[in-house]
C-alpha cells in the first residue's frame, strides 16, 4: 500500500489527531503523503518501510496511551528503523541510544530484554518520533512532519493523566505541556556509559520509576519497563 493508504487504515481517533476536519487541511495532508510516496519511489534507502510509517499508531490505540515516549526521527538504516521510536529492528544488536536507555533502566532495577519494544507499546507507551520518515537529502521533511505530529502531541496533552518522557532538547521543545506529567532528561545518544553512573540528571535518579509513580497516583497501571517484547 501507499503511505496515504496506510494512513487511511488508521482508527478515526488517530486520523483526527493528525488532521483537523476542514477539507483544505485534509487535502494539504493528502498532498504531503503523495509527496512522500514519490520520494520513497526515488530513494530506496528511505526509512522506515512504507508499511511501518504509521505502525506505532496501529499498535497503540489513542484511548490506550498512558505514556508518550518521544523520539526525533527514524534510524537512517532500513534494517534498524521499524516505526517505533528507539526500537531496533535487529534483536541482537541494539543501537547505542537504546543500549543507553536499557542501562538506565537496569540501574533503576528493571531488566529489559529484546529490542522490539512492542511490550511497551502493548502497555500504552506511544513510541513516537516527531518526524515519521527519514529520506536521504530531504531534511525539509522534518519540519513538514512536525507540523502534523505537533497536533498529535497537543491532542494527547489534553489528557492530564498522560505522562510525557522527553529525552533531549528537540523532544522537549516539541511538547508544550508542562507540569507533574512531564519528565525530562538528556538525549540517550550523549549519555555516559559507566555502569556505576546514572545517565539522567534528576535529583533522585529515577526517571522511569517517577513516571510510574505519576501513573499510579492518577489511577493508571504502572509500566513494566522490563517487558520490552
**224 an active-site residue?**
no
Cβ(13)–Cβ(61) below 8 Å: yes
Q: Which is catalytic among the residues 73, 79, 92, 143?
A: 73
Strand partners, 167: 185
Q: Which residues are catalytic?
A: 73
Amino acid at each position: 500500500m501507499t503511505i496515504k493508504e496506510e494512513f487511511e487504515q488508521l482508527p478515526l481517533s488517530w486520523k483526527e489527531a493528525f488532521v483537523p476536519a476542514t477539507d483544505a487541511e485534509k487535502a494539504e495532508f493528502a498532498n504531503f503523503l503523495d509527496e512522500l510516496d514519490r520520494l520513497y519511489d526515488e530513494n530506496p534507502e528511505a526509512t522506515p518501510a512504507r508499511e511501518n510509517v504509521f505502525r506505532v499508531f496501529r499498535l497503540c490505540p489513542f484511548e490506550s496511551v498512558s505514556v508518550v515516549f518521544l523520539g526525533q526521527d527514524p534510524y537512517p538504516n532500513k534494517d534498524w528503523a521499524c516505526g517505533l521510536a528507539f526500537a531496533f529492528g535487529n534483536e541482537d544488536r541494539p543501537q547505542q541510544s537504546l543500549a543507553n536507555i536499557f542501562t538506565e533502566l537496569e540501574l533503576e532495577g528493571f531488566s529489559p530484554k529484546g529490542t522490539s519494544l512492542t511490550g511497551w507499546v502493548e502497555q500504552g507507551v506511544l513510541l513516537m518520533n516527531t518526524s515519521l520518515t527519514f529520506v536521504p537529502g530531504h531534511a525539509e521533511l522534518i519540519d513538514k512532519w512536525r507540523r502534523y505530529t505537533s497536533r498529535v502531541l497537543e491532542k494527547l496533552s489534553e489528557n492530564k493523566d498522560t505522562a510525557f518522557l522527553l529525552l533531549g532538547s528537540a523532544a522537549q521543545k516539541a511538547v508544550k505541556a508542562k507540569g507533574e506529567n512531564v519528565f525530562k532528561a538528556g538525549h540517550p545518544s550523549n549519555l555516559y556509559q559507566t555502569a556505576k553512573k546514572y545517565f539522567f540528571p534528576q535529583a533522585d535518579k529515577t526517571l522511569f520509576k517517577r513516571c510510574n509513580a505519576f501513573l499510579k497516583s492518577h489511577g493508571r497501571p504502572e509500566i513494566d519497563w522490563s517487558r520490552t517484547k
